Amino acid sequence: MGHTVDFVCRACRYEERDLAVGHGRQPEPCLRLFHCDNCHSVGSTWLGAGRIARCSFCYHEAITLLADDAAGTPCPKCHAPGTFVHRRDQSWE
């Protein structure tokens, strides 16, 4: 099962909403949070056997996969530490 996550920067009020994380009925593939080292965006990407994890914005492979409880991730706009807010009430299969 998966749920929805929002990225919020309190410094500049940048938001990235409705990022999906988790997996469906099968354990793979799954959606994981990332920070792109190329375009500095945050988002979620598919990860699984035989798949290359890529940025969902610039499709570059230079991404850093983040833990679901990652804190202090740099904001794409101002580079101040931002946080991920989990909305477990909005789940998907």
Model confidence over 74-86: pLDDT tens digits? 999 999 999 999 8
Which pLDDT value is given to residue 70? 81
Which pLDDT value is given to residue 71? 81
Taking the C-alpha atoms of residue 38 and residue 45, their distance in angstroms, rounded to an integer, is: 15
Model confidence over 3-51: pLDDT tens digits? 999 999 999 999 999 999 998 888 889 999 999 999 999 999 999 878 8
Q: What is the pTM of this model?
A: 0.85
Residues 6+ apart with CB under 8 A from 90: 3, 4
Question: Residue type at 17?
Answer: R
Which pLDDT value is given to residue 2? 87
Model confidence over 52-66: pLDDT tens digits? 899 989 999 999 999
Residue 44 in tokens: 């979620």
Which pLDDT value is given to residue 49? 79
